[in-house]
Amino acid sequence: MMKNRFSRLFLSGLALSACGLPVQRAAAADILLYPTGPAQDSSFVRFVDGGSHPVNVTAAGSKARLSLDAANPASQFFPIAAGKPVAGTLTTGGTHHDVSAMVQPGEFVSIVALDGADKAAGSHAVTVREKPDDFNALKASVGFYNLDARCATPSLKVPGRDIVLLDGVAAGQSKRRQVNPVALSVQLACGGQPVGQPVSLGTLVAGQRYTVFLVPAGAQSRIFFANDAVSR
């Protein structure tokens, strides 16, 4: 009963404060931060910790909070009212950022906290938008969000095999493809050279969606992934 009450906690206003990416992790997957609009195509927003510090997201009206960190870098997608602005504050590493987004019907919006180019620059937030139209109950969908302009001609490859999963993604853009539901690992390459270690996505599930994020990490780049689950 108590869990159901929390999982239906709505934002009383349309303002959100995102203070970094750390929030109350135990309830984060179930809390609906925004009201869902009636009789409209579904729209969704999620928050992602793409930096080196935990992030707190706080809903201004209800004060509901969400915590993200390296172990749990992405929230689920929260259903929200389409065509209405949502605004808030991100707090991470001692810095605060006001963020806002207008989510259109059918859009999936990710608000990602990133480290700055150097320590003096601090952190900042970027917004990535998708309007998926590629659902296939027999395939899994893997997306690639390029949020690091320093990685020249980035690509995701299957390690140990001469297979390019995704490439040709400009900085600030995304790309997606359907794959068979199998165990999958990916290797980041910048300028044709491998960067970092391969990342395992586990065994993909048919009909499910996954996103690999390319983000700055000090002098290098790094990738991590999230399951694009929707909060119910």
Examine the domain organization and report whether 51 and 155 are in the same domain. Answer: no
Domain around 116: 1-131
Confidence of residue 162 (pLDDT cuts 50, 70, 90): confident
In the predicted structure, residue 140 carries a pLDDT above the cut 90 = yes
Give the range among 7-21, 194-208, 217-231 with minimum mean pLDDT.
Answer: 7-21
More confident residue, 188 or 80: 188
Examine the domain organization and report whether 26 and 42 are in the same domain. Answer: yes
More confident residue, 105 or 87: 105
Share of the chain above pLDDT 70, in %: 78
Convert the pLDDT of each residue in 49-78 to its tens digit: 999 999 998 776 666 788 999 999 999 998
Convert the pLDDT of each residue in 151-161 to its tens digit: 999 999 999 88
Examine the domain organization and report whether 80 and 116 are in the same domain. Answer: yes
CA distance 35 to 143: 27
**Which residues is 215 bridged to in the sheet?**
222
> Which residues, in sequence order, are CB contacts of 23 under 8 Å at separation 6+?
55, 56, 57, 58, 65, 66, 67, 68, 75
Mean pLDDT (the chain) is: 81
- HSE, side-chain direction, 13 A CA sphere, residue 58: 14
**Residue 108 in contact with residue 132, Cβ under 8 Å?**
yes
> Which residues, in sequence order, are CB contacts of 59 under 8 Å at separation 6+?
11, 15, 16, 17, 33, 34, 65, 88
Which of 131, 148, 175 is at the close of a domain? 131
pLDDT of residue 204: 97
pLDDT of residue 130: 93
- pTM for the predicted model, two decimal places: 0.82
**Residue 211 in contact with residue 143, Cβ under 8 Å?**
yes
More confident residue, 201 or 98: 201
Examine the domain organization and report whether 13 and 38 are in the same domain. Answer: yes
Q: Pull the structure tokens for residue 170.
A: 């400009």
Examine the domain organization and report whether 168 and 84 are in the same domain. Answer: no
pLDDT of residue 40: 55
In the predicted structure, residue 167 carries a pLDDT above the cut 90 = yes
Examine the domain organization and report whether 126 and 158 are in the same domain. Answer: no
Examine the domain organization and report whether 146 and 67 are in the same domain. Answer: no
2: left (phi over 0), alpha (psi -120 to 50) or beta: alpha
**Which residues is 50 bridged to in the sheet?**
none
| E strands, 180-219, in order | 183-190, 193-203, 209-217
Convert the pLDDT of each residue in 120-129 to its tens digit: 556 889 999 9
Examine the domain organization and report whether 114 and 197 are in the same domain. Answer: no
Examine the domain organization and report whether 144 and 230 are in the same domain. Answer: yes
**Average confidence (pLDDT) over 141-168:** 95
Q: How many domains does the chain have?
A: 2
Give the range among 17-21, 43-47, 72-76, 98-102 with minimum mean pLDDT.
Answer: 17-21
Examine the domain organization and report whether 125 and 33 are in the same domain. Answer: yes
Examine the domain organization and report whether 18 and 30 are in the same domain. Answer: yes
CATH at residue 149: 2.60.40
Examine the domain organization and report whether 120 and 225 are in the same domain. Answer: no
More confident residue, 96 or 21: 96
